[in-house]
Structure 1
Amino acid sequence: MRLVASDIDGTILGHDGKISDRTVRAFHACREAGIELVFVTGRPPRWLHPLEEQLGHTGTVICSNGAVVWDLEEDRLVSARTLSVEAIMEIRQIIKSVRPAALFAAETLSGFHLEPGFIENGSGELLEEFTPAALAETLTTDDAVVKFLAIVREGTPDDFLAAVRPAVGHLAFATHSAPSVAMLELSFPGVNKAVTLAEYAGSLGIDAADVVAFGDMPNDVEMLRWAGHGYAMASGHPEAIRAAGQQAPHFDDDGVAQVLEAKLAALGVKLA
């Protein structure tokens, strides 16, 4: 175990926005043992504060499902793979032909753009600072889109993904990470968590066989398959569980911490 790569939401972070003390101790023990830590998330850079505030993490974070690499210590962009506005408008048209009720939003390197109705009343507190408007009005040709979002109010996220993925596969990689909301996340073709994690590990001279990865949702599937030791949370999506070679205990039971504690013990590392 030379590198630990972990998803955030539903894997180490709960709905209450907290990372458990036990999980924090396990990550600190990894760091003290000289094991590299990288967090691999669908979140954009502006939503990484739990890592800084609760874990004291100042290293690299792979964001937006692999589209962005961010340096937390210097608070700067390292690299990005982006969709053009022209491409997302074409994707939008295709998805509308499949699901006419779909609404859209775009995460760019400089901000967030969302259509009216994308957020339902009484939800989406993290997005309240953004004013809804037609994407054609707020996006310019200079905007670089790192994640394009599509949402519908009926059906399941799995059904929505199954309908959309074949139609847009030539233009974007589509996945989802919402347990119950039918919202899709689309990024540059061929870009996912595994691709960027493999590049990051390679830059450190670390092979997949020495990587332990944790995740819980379909956007983690490729990463869990790539890592030599991929663990899906027992509380995770069935697709993630099928993809992973192994299973971590339920999120509520500090599953990531349990796995790391056992691996550290096998290395002779004692937790404080």
Structure 2
Amino acid sequence: MRLVASDIDGTILGHDGKISARTIRAFQACRDAGVELVFVTGRPPRWLYPLEEQLGHSGVVICSNGAVVWDPAAGKPISSTALDITAVFEARRIIKSIRPDALFGAETLHGFHLEPGFIENETSELLGEFTPAPLDRTLTAADAVVKFLAITREGTPDEFLAEVGPAVAHLVATTHSAPRTALLEMSVPGINKAVTLAKYAESLGIEAADVVAFGDMPNDIEMLRWAGHGYAMASGHPEAILAAGQQAPHFDDDGVAQILEAKLAGEKV
């Protein structure tokens, strides 16, 4: 075990915004043993504060499902892969033709654009920071869209993905990470957590066989398959569990910490 790559939400971070003390100790033990740590998330860079505040992590974070490699210490991207603006609007048009109730948002390197109604809760802190407006009024060719979002209030995430994913596959790679909300996450075709993690590991001279990865949702599938030791959370999505082939115990039981503790102790897991 030379590199640990972990998803954040639902894997080490709970709905209460907390990382358990046991998990924090396990990551620190990895650091002390000389194991590299990288976090691989669908979150944008502006939402990485739990890593800094609770883990004291200042190393590389792979964000936006692989579209951005972020340097927290410098507060800027090391690299990024952005969607062409024409692909964004064409994907929006196609999804809207299939699901007229769909609403859209766009993460860029410099902020977040969202359509009116994208967020149901009008008291959300997000609406204090970003003003909803039609995307064709706020997005320009100069904006680097690293993740395009579509949401609907009807059905499940799996149903929404199955319905519209194939229709836009020539334009965007589509996945989801929300357990219950029908929210799709789109990026440049060929970009996912595994692709970017593989490049990062190669830059360190680390092979897939020496990587331990943790995740829980469909946006983790490629990463769990690529890593030599991919663990899906027992509390995770069935497709992630199937892809990984190995399970970490349930999130509520500090599953990531249990696996790391065992590996550091030289136990077979």
Q: TM-score, normalised by structure 2?
A: 0.97
Residue type at the aligned position of 1:84 = D
Residue type at the aligned position of 2:243 = A
Corresponding residue number in structure 1 for 2:24: 24
**Inter-partner Cα distance in structure 1 for 2:75 and 2:101:** 37
Once the 2 structures are TM-superposed, how far is the Cα of residue 191 of structure 1 from its aligned partner?
0.3
**Inter-partner Cα distance in structure 2 for 1:238 and 1:85:** 34
Corresponding residue number in structure 2 for 1:47: 47
Task: Give yes or no for the alignment of 1:166 onto 2:166.
Answer: yes
3-state DSSP of counterpart to 1:252:
helix
Corresponding residue number in structure 1 for 2:221: 221
3-state DSSP of counterpart to 1:12:
coil
Corresponding residue number in structure 1 for 2:94: 94
Residue type at the aligned position of 1:236 = G
Once the 2 structures are TM-superposed, how far is the Cα of residue 122 of structure 1 from its aligned partner?
5.2
- Shift of the 127–21 alpha-carbon distance from structure 1 to 2, 3 Å rule, reads farther
Corresponding residue number in structure 2 for 1:203: 203
Corresponding residue number in structure 2 for 1:241: 241
CA contact (8 A) 1:11 1:256 kept: yes
CA contact (8 A) 1:22 1:254 kept: yes
Task: Give yes or no for the alignment of 1:114 onto 2:114.
Answer: yes
**Inter-partner Cα distance in structure 2 for 1:266 and 1:127:** 48
Task: Give yes or no for the alignment of 1:68 onto 2:80.
Answer: no
**Inter-partner Cα distance in structure 1 for 2:245 and 2:27:** 21
Task: Give yes or no for the alignment of 1:193 onto 2:193.
Answer: yes
CA displacement 1:206-237 (0-9 Å, x = unmatched): 11000000000000000000000000000000
Once the 2 structures are TM-superposed, how far is the Cα of residue 159 of structure 1 from its aligned partner?
0.4
Corresponding residue number in structure 2 for 1:150: 150
Corresponding residue number in structure 2 for 1:252: 252
Considering only aligned residues, what root-mean-square deviation do their CA atoms show, in Å? 1.1
Residue type at the aligned position of 1:246 = Q
Does 5-14 or 123-132 show the bigger shift? 123-132
Once the 2 structures are TM-superposed, how far is the Cα of residue 245 of structure 1 from its aligned partner?
2.1
Once the 2 structures are TM-superposed, how far is the Cα of residue 184 of structure 1 from its aligned partner?
0.0
CA contact (8 A) 1:84 1:143 kept: no
- Shift of the 250–126 alpha-carbon distance from structure 1 to 2, 3 Å rule, reads farther
Corresponding residue number in structure 2 for 1:6: 6
3-state DSSP of counterpart to 1:266:
coil
Q: How many residues align?
A: 267
**Inter-partner Cα distance in structure 2 for 1:251 and 1:124:** 27
**Inter-partner Cα distance in structure 1 for 2:124 and 2:246:** 33
Question: Which residues of structure 1 form unaligned runs of 5+?
Answer: 268-272
Corresponding residue number in structure 2 for 1:56: 56
Once the 2 structures are TM-superposed, how far is the Cα of residue 192 of structure 1 from its aligned partner?
0.3
**Inter-partner Cα distance in structure 1 for 2:252 and 2:246:** 18
Once the 2 structures are TM-superposed, how far is the Cα of residue 87 of structure 1 from its aligned partner?
1.2
Residue type at the aligned position of 1:179 = P
CA contact (8 A) 1:221 1:240 kept: yes
Task: Give yes or no for the alignment of 1:232 onto 2:229.
Answer: no
Residue type at the aligned position of 2:195 = V
CA displacement 1:107-162 (0-9 Å, x = unmatched): 01111000000000257544542110000001111111000000000000000000
3-state DSSP of counterpart to 1:78:
strand
Residue type at the aligned position of 2:244 = A
Once the 2 structures are TM-superposed, how far is the Cα of residue 92 of structure 1 from its aligned partner?
0.2
Corresponding residue number in structure 2 for 1:270: none
Residue type at the aligned position of 2:54 = Q
Residue type at the aligned position of 2:263 = K
Residue type at the aligned position of 1:177 = S
Structure 1 segments (4+ residues) deviating >6 Å: none
Residue type at the aligned position of 1:223 = M
**Inter-partner Cα distance in structure 2 for 1:152 and 1:123:** 19
